Structure 1
Amino acid sequence: MEHITETATLKAPAERFTGDVYLNMIEAPTAPAHLAAALVRFTPSARTNWHSHANGQTLYITDGVGLVGTRDGNVVRIHAGQTVKCPAGEEHWHGATDTTLMAHIAMVVGDTDGDGTTWLEPVTDEQYAHALNTSN
C-alpha cells in the first residue's frame, strides 16, 4: 500500500486551457496500468482546448455545473455526481459555465508514450457562448 498524504495544486498550462484551471494529479500513467487521473477545477468560463484521447476519457463531476461539447455540436450540461464518457478519438472540450465553478476527476488510460491525449486549438468565445445557449 502507498499512502499519499498530499499532492500539489498546479495551475493548468495556458496553452491547453482558457481561463483559470487548477489540477491535482491523482495518478500518473505508469506500467502496467497506464491510468492517468486528476482532480481538475475550472473557474467560471474556464475550459479546455479541443482535444481527444487515444483510449477515451471518463469525467466524474465532483462539484458545480459545467459543459462538455463535441465537434458535431452536441453539448451536455453536467452536474455534481454525474459521469460523462468520451469515446476513443472523439474531439471534445469541457469546462465550467459562465457563472459557476466546476470540478471533475478526469481519468484516461494511456499507453507506453504517456496519457494518449492529443491537444488541439482553443474553444473560441463564440463556440463557448453557443454551447451555453444550447446545452441540455
Structure 2
Amino acid sequence: MKIMRAGERPSKLANPEWFTGRVWQEPVVEAEAPARLHALRVTFDPEARTAWHTHPLGQTLHVLSGVGLVGLRGEPPKVIRPGDTVWIPPGVEHWHGAAPDSQMCHLAMQEADDTGRVAEWLDQVSDAEYRRTTR
C-alpha cells in the first residue's frame, strides 16, 4: 500500500504542444505495471483546452468543478458540468476543456496499453472548432 498525501504530488503546467491556454495537471494515480491506470486532476482556465487526441483503451472524465466542453471530430462540443461523467471509447478523436467564461476541473482517467502509451496527440483544436454552436 502507498498513501500519497495531499500536496506531495506536484502540479505542473501542461505541455503547450498538446494544449491551448493555461492548463494545470496534478497526478492522482500513476499505477505501476501490471496495473494500467493513469489519472490526473486537470484544471483549465476559461477557453483553455486539449488538442485533438485519442486513447488506445478509452478515457473517462469526471467533472469536479466549473463548466467545460467536450467535442468529437465533426460534431459541435457538448457542455459538461460538476458531477457529469463522460466515457470516450478507444480510438475516438476528441478534445475537452473549459467553457469560454468558466474554469473547469476534471479528473481524467485512462489506461496504458501494452506499450505504456495512454494517448495519441493530434492537431490543435481551432478557435472555430471550439466555438461551434453547442446543442
> TM-score if structure 1 supplies the norm length?
0.93
**For residues 50 and 58 of structure 1, what CA distance do their matches in structure 2 show?**
16
The SS at the match of 1:114 is coil
Aligned to 1:86: 88
**For residues 36 and 24 of structure 2, what CA distance do their matches in structure 1 show?**
22
Aligned to 1:3: 3
**For residues 107 and 27 of structure 1, what CA distance do their matches in structure 2 show?**
9
1:66 is aligned to 2:68: yes
Unaligned 5+ runs, structure 1: none
> TM-score if structure 2 supplies the norm length?
0.94
Aligned to 2:15: 13
1:112 is aligned to 2:111: no
**For residues 107 and 51 of structure 2, what CA distance do their matches in structure 1 show?**
17
**For residues 95 and 31 of structure 2, what CA distance do their matches in structure 1 show?**
21
Aligned to 1:54: 56
The SS at the match of 1:37 is strand
1:16-31 equivalences under 5 Å are 16-31=18-33
CA contact (8 A) 2:40 2:108 kept: yes
Residue 92 to residue 105, structure 1, CA distance change in 2 (3 Å): same
More helix, by proportion: 1
**For residues 62 and 23 of structure 1, what CA distance do their matches in structure 2 show?**
14
Please, which moves more after superposition, 105-114 or 82-91?
A: 105-114
Aligned to 1:45: 47
Moved over 4 A (4+): none
**For residues 55 and 22 of structure 1, what CA distance do their matches in structure 2 show?**
23
**For residues 21 and 123 of structure 1, what CA distance do their matches in structure 2 show?**
15
Query: How many residue pairs end up in the alignment?
Result: 133
After superposition, the C-alpha distances for 1:7-48 in whole angstroms (9 at most, x for unaligned) are 101000000000000010111253111101000000000000
Aligned identity (percent) is 43
**For residues 39 and 117 of structure 2, what CA distance do their matches in structure 1 show?**
10
